[in-house]
Structure 1
Amino acid sequence: MIPSINYAILTDALNALKSGNFRHCESLGFTLDEMNALNQLSLDELFTVSQAAAPFLAVNVHHDVLRHLLSHARQEYLQLQQINRAIRLGGSIALLNQYYGLTSNETCLRRRLLGVSVPYGRPPEPDEETDAEIWRQWQKCRVGNLQSPNALIAMMIVTEALLPMAEGLSLTTVWKRITLCEKESAKRRASHAR
């Protein structure tokens, strides 16, 4: 056993004992007698026990739990990357709240951390050519459920594709235009179905 692991486990157990968290010590495998003995150790005794080469602790890997944690960490990382991408593309507070549940404070903090500044006032409406191009690009990667994360990813793709030709175009503008066009398209389909 590596001595530093002994030390880490012993200090963790002692911290738990000092705060009255006996269940944590039990979960580590310590008996009540061992907890009492640990609680009475002097600093020198703790150092001696923690530096002992004799293994008094077994480490087990719970493979299913580890796989789940790794998968969850990966999903969290990918979501954070998507949030940062949306912010860099000019995602508004409302957009980030709808798709990721971020509050206005969280969005503002993330913007500052990324060095993204947002111009004051309403963003300019796209001209007719840009508006038509937004719709054409959307048709290439359209997602049926506009509330889904996949729809937002598709909208980011549209925004990135149009940025070279439409300077100042933001993800928020693309989101609003696509949402409006989808509503109008649904109304037309409904009126034709009658």
Structure 2
Amino acid sequence: MIPSINYAIMADALHALKEGNIRHCEALGFTLDEINALDQLSLEELFTVSRAATPFVSITVRHDILHHLLAQARQEYRRQQQIKRAIRLGGSIALLNHYFGLTSNDVCLRRRLLGVSVPYGRTPEPDEETDAEIWRQWQKFRVENLESPDALMAMIQVTDALLPKARGLSLTTVWKRIALCEQEVVANRRTTYAG
């Protein structure tokens, strides 16, 4: 049997009262007299009131808050999916910390949960052909701000596009190569404008 709204509110109010949180009871809509009366009910009286068929509480939906919470939930879901995707594509602890603020323990635990194992040692450098292809693919998806979540999504797309051809390519390798190439582009622009 699903507990009535009376029961749920009474349980919440009594829990707040037990902790001395009278403001919470007031926020639920109880007056001080009602809070005092609740506090003095015997267990049997409390049971009778909480199980009454007639609801003493009405519910209203705060649509603005609900819409905000739904948007937050969607955003958090997308973030969790991005983290999983980044881990599956070989995102390093440094990359996951940089874009998501995850600690090394968080990353290791998530890898274990996803069944992702990471080879020991340094990530192998891509050959010249793969390196050039990373840059070509990056030009298709390029995002100005490399620090943004959009840039990470673009790098994930680059990695996905190249994975069938470049075995062992990781998101971390793509990230490092793109960052290095972007630094070279900026340096070349400075040299050009300075000259």
Which string of whole-angstrom CA distances, capped at 9 and with x for unpartnered residues, describes residues 105-155 of structure 1? 211121122121111111111111111110110011101111111000000
- For residues 31 and 100 of structure 2, what CA distance do their matches in structure 1 show? 45
Q: Residue type of the partner of 1:159?
A: T
Question: Contact conserved, 1:146 with 1:179, CA < 8 A, in 2?
Answer: yes
Partner residue of 2:162? 162
Corresponding residue of 1:58: 58
**Partner of residue 22, structure 2:** 22
Report the number of matched residues.
Answer: 193
Q: Could you give the per-residue CA deviations for residues 11-35 of structure 1, whole angstroms, max 9, x where no partner exists?
A: 0110000011111000001111211
Q: Give yes or no for the alignment of 1:109 onto 2:118.
A: no
**Cα pair 2:93 2:103 within 8 Å, conserved:** yes
Compute the displacement of 1:3 (Å).
5.3
**Does 38-47 or 28-37 show the bigger shift?**
38-47
Of residues 173-182 and 112-121 in structure 1, the stretch that sits farther from structure 2 once superposed is: 112-121
Rounded to whole Å, the distance in 2 between the matches of 1:139 and 1:82 is 21
**Contact between 2:5 and 2:57, CA under 8 Å: does it hold in 1?**
no
For 2:98, what is the secondary structure of its paired residue?
helix
* 8 Å Cα contact 1:3-1:50 kept in structure 2: no
User: Does the 8 Å contact 2:125/2:173 carry over to 1?
Assistant: yes
Shift of 1:40: 2.3
Higher alpha-carbon deviation: 53-62 or 140-149: 53-62
Scaled by the length of structure 1, the TM-score of the pair is 0.95
Matched, 1:140 2:117: no
Provide the C-alpha distance between the structure 2 equivalents of 1:78 and 1:191, rounded to a whole number of angstroms. 40
| d(CA) in 2 for partners of 1:108, 1:42 | 52
Q: Report the Cα distance in structure 2 between the residues aligned to 1:152 and 1:133, rounded to whole angstroms.
A: 17
Shift of 1:51: 1.4
| TM-score of the two chains, using structure 2 as the length reference | 0.94
Q: Which consecutive unaligned segments of at least 5 residues does structure 2 have?
A: none
- Partner of 2:153 in structure 1? 153
User: What RMSD, in angstroms, separates the aligned Cα atoms of the two structures?
Assistant: 1.3
Q: Which runs of 5+ in 1 are unaligned?
A: none
C-alpha displacement of 1:50: 1.4
Structure 1 position 189, deviation (Å): 1.7
What residue number does 1:69 align with? Answer: 69
Task: Tell me the residue number matched to 2:4.
Answer: 4
